Amino acid sequence: MKSMRKQLLGSVVLALLVLVGCKGPQSAGGKPRLKVYHSIISLSPSTTELASLTGVPIVGRTKACDYPPNVQKVDIVADLKPNYELIATIKPDLVIMDRDLYSVADQQKLKDLGADVQVFGSDTVEGHIKDMYTLANLMAGESAVNEYVIKLRKNISASEGEKPAKRELKAVMVIPDTGGHHMIAGTKSFQGDVVRIIGATLVGPDSNKFESLNPEFLMAQNPDWIIVAGATSDFLADKRFSNLTAVKNLKLFGLNQDICIRRGCRVDQFIYNGHKLLMLGEGQK
């Protein structure tokens, strides 16, 4: 009888070990991973920044991917379009990209090379946080991403908890152009959500991206603030806007353009610096 019990116990233990082994790689939270990727190409500056958070190196990038600085040592596999032949020689198991930069046809070509493709790009900061955790799970980098999200949420809470005395601040966000062909952020864009967090309401086209700036529209809106993604001098040089109240009162500030337009690993800086400058401009510390 004892011998039969030992045999039965041994069978149960063996079965449990087999079941555990079949679960595959586990995430930091205990959720089973479908797959862990080791050869990863990033085809947008935003996703390259996000990949850097996980601590997992990429093996290919675009020409525009320049942050963090050490990523510039990685081979370039795309300029305006991916170099499919070069990517085929690398044989990546995962390609990550920004949704705004590539068509469905582009994505299919990459899948045809045998790579899994993940597309990122949310119109809200909360959606961006979800994107970060999704990517972290794919790359086994949850703990590093979690540290960043804690810092990001701290800046969000500080900004939302301290609003300017004037509650209805209207702001626009522009990408300046020396030739006068400026771009303006749409109200449904990721930038619009960040502007809300830092203490203002974004006015602009009904869009989730940057559009060509209509001078008549901007003059009619006459915003309280102008947030410039780049050098303010490039916008101030455009005399068409010299009569705007924000221009006359110098109610405009410039931020690093890459930080403003990329949904990457510097959104915390976007929120912190934007809120700080807005509050200082409104006479509040």
What pairing do the DSSP bridges indicate for beta strands 116-120 and 94-98? parallel
CB 49 within 8 A of CB 262: yes
Average pLDDT over residues 52-57: 89
pLDDT of residue 112 exceeding 50, the answer is: yes
- Per residue in 76-93, pLDDT (tens digit) is 999 989 999 999 999 999
Domain boundary among 128, 154, 180: 154
Do 185 and 84 lie in one domain? The reply is no
Contact (Cβ atoms closer than 8 angstroms) between residue 159 and residue 198: yes
- Please state the rounded mean pLDDT for residues 225-241: 95
Q: Between residues 229 and 29, which one has the greater pLDDT?
A: 229
Cα 281 to Cα 73, 97, 166, 169, 268, distances in angstroms: 40, 36, 12, 12, 20
Confidence of residue 285 (pLDDT cuts 50, 70, 90): low
Q: Is residue 149 located within the same domain as residue 193?
A: no
Question: What pLDDT is recorded for position 163?
Answer: 84
Domain of residue 211, CATH code = 3.40.50.1980
Is there a contact between 231 and 178 (Cβ–Cβ < 8 Å)? no
Domain membership of residue 244 as a residue range: 164-281
30 within domain boundaries: no
Q: Show the tokens assigned to 244.
A: 């705007």
Is the pLDDT score of 12 beyond 80? no
Q: How many domains does one find in the chain?
A: 2
198-207 b/e (C-beta count within 10 Å ≥ 16 → b): bbbebbbbee
Same domain (yes/no): 143, 220: no
Q: Are residues 228 and 135 in the same domain?
A: no
pLDDT of the residue at 136? 92
The whole-number pLDDT of residue 13 equals: 38
Where does a domain end: 154, 173, 201? 154
Q: Is 34 contained in some domain?
A: no
Is the separation of the CB atoms in 175 and 183 below 8 Å?
Answer: yes
- Residue 97's beta-bridge partner residues? 119
Q: Where are the beta strands (DSSP E) in the chain?
A: 40-42, 61-62, 76-78, 94-98, 116-120, 170-175, 183-185, 201-202, 210-212, 225-229, 252-255
Domain assignment present for 203:
yes
Q: How many CB atoms lie within 10 A of CB 15?
A: 10
pTM over 0.75: yes
What is the residue-averaged pLDDT of the chain? 88
**Are 187 and 95 found together in one domain?**
no
Same domain, 217 and 150: no
DSSP-derived secondary structure for 18-74: HHHHHT-SB-TTSPBPS----SEEE-SHHHHHHHHHHTPPPSBEETT---SGGGGGS
- Asked whether residue 184 falls in the same domain as residue 226, the answer is yes
Last residue of a domain, one of 154, 172, 201: 154
3-state secondary structure of 202: strand
- E strand intervals along 161-275: 170-175, 183-185, 201-202, 210-212, 225-229, 252-255
Per-residue pLDDT, averaged over 199-211, amounts to: 96
d(CA 213, CA 216): 9
* Residue 223 lies inside a defined structural domain of this protein: yes
Does residue 11 have a pLDDT over 50?
no
